[in-house]
Each structure stands twice: as structure tokens, then as C-alpha cells.
């Protein structure tokens, strides 16, 4: 299968209303929403596609902040912009904190119709202090064989 990788750097200028990350090595800025969830944007998204999938909005979302049950997850959408059904695709979030990889989470979709969209939520496996350690993420979307 022919594969092609696209690396898209998400710039904070294009993220009206969302927290972003500067070009420097600092931690991402966050924005607290009215329902007590915090969001942040990944600095990199890698899409391996054949046929091409479009990664829509995605963000790091926190819930139950400051509690032992705090969670961190990446929510987003993927759209099949081709005229062919995508038999299988996988979205993987690699959670990062303190300059190192902490863990990852994946989800799959099957038979994504032409023009169809897939909304996903990739939950960090830890909670509480472990979830608070997540400061950034990388998102990879890949079409299966």
C-alpha cells in the first residue's frame, strides 16, 4: 500500500478561542471553559494517509480538575474527504509531560464513508496526579491496510 506522511504544525494564531502553544519549549497555555474543563492544543499532528483523511479540530480536555478522579483526553474529528470508503483507520494520541512520553491511547473506525466524519475521544490511562502530569500530546491518524 502506498503511504504518504503529512506533518502539520498547528499554529496558535489559527486557533481562535482555543489555548495554544508558542514556538518555544514552554508548556502549553490552557483555557478553562464554563463547565470546568481545560483545553490545550497539540503542537504536531501526523497523518499517514492513503486515501487522504482530514484531521479536524482536536484538543486536550481535562475533567474533574484538581481531584483524584481528574482525567485527560484528546477529543477530535477525522473526515474522509475522498470518494472511496476508508475500510479502517486508527487515531493514536501520545501523551507527553515533563519532556517525556507518558503513555498513549488509540481508537479505530471501520468503513468510514466518503464525506463521512468520525469523532473520537482518546482517554489517558491514568487519573488524578498521573493525568495532571499530561501537558501536551501528539496525534497520529493512520489508514489501515
Grid cell for residue 117: 466524519
pLDDT number for residue 59: 94
Is 128 exposed, middle or buried, given 0-12, 13-18 or 19+ CB atoms closer than 10 A?
A: middle
pLDDT number for residue 105: 98
Buried b (16+ CB within 10 A) or exposed e, 16-48: eebbbbeeeeeebebeeeeeebbbbbbbebbbe
pLDDT number for residue 144: 83
Question: What are the boundaries of each domain within the chain?
Answer: 4-143
- The listed CATH number (3.30.70.260, 2.60.40.3230, 1.10.3720.10, 2.60.120.260) that belongs to domain 4-143: 2.60.40.3230
pTM: 0.69
Per-residue pLDDT of the chain (145 residues; tens, 9 = 90+): 323 233 232 222 222 333 333 333 333 333 333 333 444 445 555 555 455 689 999 999 999 999 999 999 999 999 998 899 999 999 999 999 999 999 999 999 999 999 999 999 999 999 999 999 999 999 999 988 6
| Phi-psi group of 128: left, alpha or beta (phi > 0 → left; psi -120 to 50 → alpha; rest → beta) | left
d(Cα 113, Cα 97) in Å, to the nearest integer?
Answer: 36
Nearest Cα residue to 58 out of 98, 22, 14:
14
Phi, psi (rounded to 5 degrees) for 63:
-130, 155
User: CB of 94 within 8 A of CB of 76?
Assistant: no
Query: Nearest 5°: CA angle at 126, between 20 and 79?
Result: 50
pLDDT number for residue 11: 28
Bridge partners of 139? 45, 93
Amino acid at each position: 500500500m502506498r503511504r504518504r506522511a503529512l506533518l502539520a504544525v498547528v499554529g496558535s494564531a489559527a486557533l481562535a478561542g482555543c489555548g495554544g502553544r508558542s514556538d518555544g519549549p514552554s508548556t502549553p497555555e490552557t483555557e478553562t471553559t464554563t463547565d470546568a474543563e481545560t483545553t490545550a492544543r497539540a503542537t504536531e499532528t501526523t497523518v499517514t494517509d492513503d486515501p487522504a483523511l482530514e484531521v479536524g479540530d482536536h484538543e486536550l480536555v481535562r475533567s474533574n480538575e484538581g481531584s483524584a478522579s481528574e482525567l485527560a483526553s484528546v477529543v477530535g474529528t477525522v473526515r474522509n474527504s475522498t470518494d472511496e470508503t476508508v475500510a479502517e483507520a486508527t487515531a493514536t494520541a501520545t501523551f507527553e509531560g515533563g519532556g517525556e512520553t507518558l503513555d498513549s491511547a488509540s481508537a479505530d473506525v471501520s468503513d468510514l464513508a466518503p464525506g463521512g466524519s468520525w469523532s473520537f475521544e482518546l482517554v489517558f490511562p491514568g487519573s488524578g496526579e498521573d493525568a495532571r502530569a499530561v501537558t501536551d500530546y501528539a496525534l497520529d491518524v493512520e489508514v489501515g491496510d
